[in-house]
Amino acid sequence: MIGDRLEAEFGKAVDVKYVWNVMDFGYRGEEVLWMAERGILTLAYQSTSYLTERVPELEFTDLPFLFDGLPQARAAMDGKLGAYLSRKIEERIGYRILGYFENGYRHVSNRLRPVRTPADMAGMRIRLMPSQMHCRTFELLGAIPFSCDLKPGLEAIMSGAVDAQENPLANTLDYGANKVHRYITLTGHCYVSRGIYCNRAAFDGWPEALQTAMKTAVREAVTAQRALAVQEEEIARRTIESAGGEVVDLTPDERAAFVRAVKPLHDEARQRFGDEMFALLRAG
C-alpha cells in the first residue's frame, strides 16, 4: 500500500522493491532493525520490544495490562506517548519513526492445560520475545521464560522444548502453534506496537514532497493495517476453535488475578520513569 501510493504519485522517480521476509535470505527476524539502521533496507517494521535494550523507555509499553483497550492504546501511540518514544528512539538510533503498526494484544497458548489463574502457569516453560519486561511478567506469573528470536522460538514450540508461547491469535495461527497447543487463554496481557523505521540518512536526503508523501502513505497504511488486524483476530479465533482448539475467555475476576500478580512491575515503572510517562499515556 505504501509503495503503491508512492509509485502512483511519483512514477519512475521512485524505485520500490519489496523484501517480504528477511528470514528467507538467512537473516534473523530481529535483524530487520539493523538492516534499516544500516540502509540495507530503507523502510522496515518490527515490534518495539526488540529495541528495549537500546531504548529503555520502550520497556514502558511492554508493561503488562498497561492499556484499557484498543482505543486507548492506539490513541496513546498516535499521540503524546508515541511522539515521546519516537524522539527517544531517534536520539539513539539512525531512524526516522514514521508511525506504529499494531501487533496487538498477546494471549497465552500452551500444550499442557487450560489457564484461568496465574497458578495454572506454574512451571510452564514459555517462549517470549527478547524483552526483559516480558520475562519478568511471566516470572511473576510462575512460568519459566525462554527468550529468543522468532525462528528458534518456533522450533522450540513445535518440538515441545517449550510448553507455551504468547502472541496475537493471528500469529498463533500463522505460525502453526495451535497445532501443538490445544489451550489458548485470552489474557490480553500486553499490547505491542510495531514501529515503522525509515533509514534516517535516506529519509533526510529525499525532497520535501517525497518526505510528505511517505508520511501520508504511512498514516493511511496504519489505519488500514489496524482494521485488518481486528478482522484477522476474529477469523483466527474461529479457525482455531473449528480445528479443536480450546479458547478460554477470562472472567473479570480471573483477569484481575493476573493484574494483581504483575502489579510490582507497575510500581517499579513509576519509580523508574516517574509520573511523566503515565501522564503521557492518559493524555492520548
Q: How many CB atoms lie within 10 A of CB 94?
A: 18
Q: Across the strands, what pairs with 183?
A: 110, 246
Q: Is 90 helix (H, G, I), strand (E, B) or coil?
A: helix
- Residue 16: the pLDDT is 84
| Residue 12 banded pLDDT, cuts 50, 70, 90 | confident
CB neighbourhood size of 196 (10 A): 24
Mean pLDDT of the residues in the chain: 94
Cα-atom radius of gyration of the chain, to the nearest Å?
Answer: 19
The yes-or-no verdict on residue 7 having pLDDT over 90 is no
DSSP readout, 1-31?
A: -HHHHHHHHHGGGS-----S-GGGGT--TTH
Q: Which amino acid is at 117?
A: T
pLDDT tens, residue by residue, 195-240: 999 999 999 999 999 999 999 999 999 999 999 999 999 999 999 9
Q: Nearest-CA neighbor of 3 among 37, 34, 43?
A: 43
Residue 38: Cβ within 10 Å count: 12
CB atoms within 10 A of CB 272: 12
CA distance 47 to 220: 19
**Cα 151–153–158 angle (5° rounding)?**
100
What is the per-residue pLDDT across 75-113, written as a single tens digit (0 to 9) for each?
999 999 999 999 999 999 999 999 999 999 999 999 999
Is 80 exceeded by the pLDDT of residue 268? Answer: yes
Judge whether residue 274 has pLDDT over 90: no
Q: Of 2-11, 15-24, 182-191, which one has max mean pLDDT?
A: 182-191
Block residue for cell numbers 483497550: 69
Q: Residue 43 forms beta bridges with which residues?
A: 198
Dihedral pair phi/psi, residue 195, rounded to 5°: -65, 145
pLDDT the model gives residue 29: 67
Whole-model pTM over 0.85: yes
Give the model confidence (pLDDT) of 113-124 as tens digits: 999 999 999 999
- What would the pLDDT profile of 36-57 be if each residue is shown by its tens digit? 999 999 999 999 999 999 999 9
**At 4, is the pLDDT very low, low, confident or very high (cuts 50, 70, 90)?**
confident
Please give the CATH number for the structural domain made up of 2-283: 3.40.190.170
Using 50, 70 and 90 to split pLDDT, how confident is the model at 14?
Answer: confident
Position 34 pLDDT exceeds 80: yes
Q: What is the pLDDT of residue 88?
A: 98
Alpha helices in 130-243 (DSSP H): 132-140, 150-159, 169-174, 200-205, 208-242
Structure confidence at residue 284 (pLDDT): 66
Distance from the Cα of residue 98 to its chain's centroid: 16
Provide the pLDDT for residue 15: 86
For residue 191 the three cell numbers come to 499490547
Strands 43-47, 183-199: pairing kind: antiparallel
Is 70 exceeded by the pLDDT of residue 25? no
Give me the residue spans of the domains in the chain.
2-283
The confidence score (pLDDT) of residue 278 equals: 92
Split at pLDDT 50, 70, 90, the class of 22 is low
Sign of the Cα pseudo-torsion (46, 99, 60, 140, in order): negative
